[in-house]
Amino acid sequence: MTARVGSATLALIVLGLPFASFLLLVLVRPLRRSAAAAATVSIAAIAGSLATAVLVVRGAVARAGGQSPSTTWPWIPADGGPMATVGVMVDDLSMTMMLLVTLVSFLVQVYSWSYLHDEPRTSLGRYYAYHSLFAFSMLGLVLSPGFLQMFVFWELVGLCSYLLIGYWYDRPSAARAAVKAFWITKLGDLGFVAGIAMLWVATGTFDFWTLFQQGSRGTLPVEALPPIMFLIYLGAVGKSAQFPLHVWLPDAMEGPTPVSALIHAATMVTAGVFLVTRAFPLFRLTPDVLTLIAWVGAFTALLAASMACVEIDIKRVLAYSTVSQLGYMMAAAGAAAPEAGFMHLVTHGVFKALLFLGAGIVIHVFHTNDVFRMGGLRRHPWIWLPFVVGTLALAGVWPLPGFFTKEAILAGVFDARLGVPFAMLSVAAFMTAFYMSRVVFLTFFARPHHAGHAHPHVPVLMGGVTWLLAALTLALGIQQAFFSGHHDIGGPAWLAAFSLALAGGGILLAWAMYQGATLDPARVARMFGPLEWMARRRYGLDAVFVGLYRGVLLALARLVGWVDRYLVDGVLNVLSAWTLRAGDRVRRLQTGQPQDYVYGVALGALLLFVLAQWRLR
């Protein structure tokens, strides 16, 4: 990859358009309340962003050696130069992400218009406002030239995720899922913010370019880099749903399906991978942290894939698949092959958006998420063909992009001599092919459960978007297969055949179990008895979190509550009771009898008189 830089001004326009749309929708009430106008504003803004992003990429020029790709302005003034800067960093990484984010955002917003057609007209403006804010935040994140600005946008995308998961806030499950997603990602963010604070204390800068330069020259003035990088990695663990903080992502599917496609598959959840890729020149200096990233990533990939195999909710299958693929990307970064992970991020963003939007169409047709209650769409290739393209891409079938990026990741992990992670990723690849084919067979080709859907109606807009994404997936694959100059991804010679065999094996097994009826699914499940039982219960991880919440957090809250109620309040209550009683006693002095007061005056005067005489003596 030759290093290139793009125009900062154009990048700022890309960033500014969605923000302007968000402000318009939030501030102008009539606009927000009218669905069509709000959607038009938001879609027009993101379309403008997309066009400008294309201009940025086309106008990018080769970067001279040593030239910084960042354009920054001082932000927090302080003695001896600004404490932090803001700006845009337009290099290959951020330009690719910019294209992906604007493209998927645009398609998803168009799709949403059709998908949410039955929603109350007045709440659609809110939906589009959130979408615009999300596009702005995500673009700001990928364009960040420093850790601090990245953290600000990082939290903003977290907020958008919360708002959009809880879009149907009157459903208790959606509200709970939104809070869960917010809290669990915040757990990781604690590490992130502590990490960048420690890095700043040590180096005095948040700027990526400065840090990278110092890192590559070996002049980074940091003594304890591994703990810092570990803390920063924690942020990525939360956002990119790595074990053990992956529990929020499947629940995040309570949001509208297009939201799942955009935020919880294609863009936001990849922010963690993006962070590790972006800061890789620093992670490179800490091999131990990298090894940890690779192990956690591979384990996440395997764990999530096994849970996807037993899930019956189509969106949750896709969610677990996302967790699993994020594990792949992280494993690649951990194996010092961040380019492979990043390529997987980009292609995965396209075909996972395709799969989610395809799932949205299926849900639209069947009005259920349960794959066992679908089927009978064999005669409607208009519906199933794009989904199948996405499935094959995810399973890793030549010549679709998943094949190349997954092979590159496996090669990277193999070359890094990470034997066990390589094995885990291979098994996960097999499972990926299996569970995706299972969904395809059950959803489209199984016998229909009821005859009501002889002519399923799919809005042109929704179908069109999936076809477009399918074509894009195919184009990406063909570009990788025939037009990308070099295939030197490392790894052993048998790797391509091996990964194809894994994909083929998974698909065949799914066919045998769910379509060919040569294997009874129940018997296979019994073969994997305890494992299957545990996967169905999500390995008890949610229970662990619930237990931690109840056992630690609530216990602490009770303790604090007890101290407040009985110690703090107790002291105050006793004091006030004493005051009341004393007041009641003193009150009796006021008899209301004027003569008693005169007694007092007379006795007082007498006392004064005696005192005066006595003093004079």
Q: Is the peptide bond before 244 cis (omega within 30 degrees of 0)?
A: yes
Dihedral-angle region of residue 450 (phi above 0 means left; psi in -120 to 50 means alpha; beta otherwise) = beta
x-marked contacts with another protein along 100-139 as a string, rule CB under 8 A:
----------------------------------------
Of 455, 592, 616, 617, the one binding another protein (CB under 8 A) is 592
Minimum CB–partner distance for residue 178 and another protein (Å): 59
Report the run of H or E that residue 191 belongs to, with start and end: helix 172-203
Interacting positions 200-239 with another protein (CB under 8 A) = none
Interacting residue with another protein among 2, 518, 590, 613 (CB under 8 A)? 590
Q: Is 70 helix (H, G, I), strand (E, B) or coil?
A: strand
**338 touches 276 (CB < 8 A):** yes
- Token pair 């990602």 is found at 185
3-class SS of residue 330: helix
Taking CB under 8 A as the criterion, the residue among 2, 591, 614, 615 binding another protein is: 591
Coarse DSSP helix, strand, coil percentages of the chain, rounded to the nearest 5 percent: 75, 5, 20
> Which of 217, 587, 615, 617 is the binder for another protein (CB under 8 A)?
587
Closest CA to 66 of 207, 208, 213: 213
CB of 615 to another protein, least distance (A): 22
Contact stretch for another protein (CB under 8 A) within 30-38, 358-366, 410-418, 583-591: 583-591
Per-residue three-class SS string for 333-382:
HHCCCHHHHHHHHHHHHHHHHHHHHHHHHHHHHHCCCEHHHCCCCCCCHH
Under rule CB under 8 A, residue 580 binds another protein: no
Task: Name the segment binding another protein (CB under 8 A); options: 293-301, 428-436, 486-494, 592-600.
Answer: 592-600
Among 78, 451, 589, 616, binds another protein (CB under 8 A): 589
- Please give the size of the binding site for another protein, defined by CB under 8 A: 12
- Rounded to 10 degrees, the C-alpha dihedral 561/565/571/574 comes to 180
Name the segment binding another protein (CB under 8 A); options: 47-55, 200-208, 338-346, 595-603.
595-603
Q: Which two tokens stand for residue 128?
A: 């589009």
Place of tokens 């090669």: 411
Query: Which residue number, 457 or 588, has a Cβ lying nearer to another protein?
Result: 588
Site string for another protein, 536-575 (x = CB under 8 A): ----------------------------------------
529 belongs to the binding site for another protein (CB under 8 A): no
Nearest distance from residue 586's CB to another protein, in Å?
Answer: 8
Choice between 455 and 588, CB closer to another protein: 588
Residue 598 contacts another protein per CB under 8 A: yes
List helix spans (H) across 515-538: 521-527, 529-536
CB of 608 to another protein, least distance (A): 15
Rounded to a whole number of angstroms, the minimum distance from the CB of residue 603 to another protein is: 11
- Rg of the chain over Cα atoms, rounded to whole angstroms, equals 31
**How many Å apart are CA 427 and CA 7, to the nearest integer?**
44
Least Å distance, CB 597 to another protein, is 9
Q: Residue 606 CB, nearest distance to another protein (Å)?
A: 10
Ramachandran angles phi, psi of 75, nearest 5°: -120, -70
The CA dihedral of 96, 285, 148, 108, to the nearest 10 degrees, is 30
Which amino acid belongs to residue 146? G
CB of 555 to another protein, least distance (A): 50
Could you say whether residue 599 binds another protein (CB under 8 A)?
yes
> Among residues 2, 219, 593, 613, which is the contact residue for another protein, using CB under 8 A?
593
Helices (H), 479-553: 495-514, 521-527, 529-536, 541-548
Q: Are strands 84-89 and 70-76 parallel, antiparallel or unpaired?
A: antiparallel
d(CA 111, CA 107): 6
Told to check if 613 binds another protein by CB under 8 A, we report no
Provide the binding-site residues for another protein, judged by CB under 8 A: 587-595, 598-599, 602
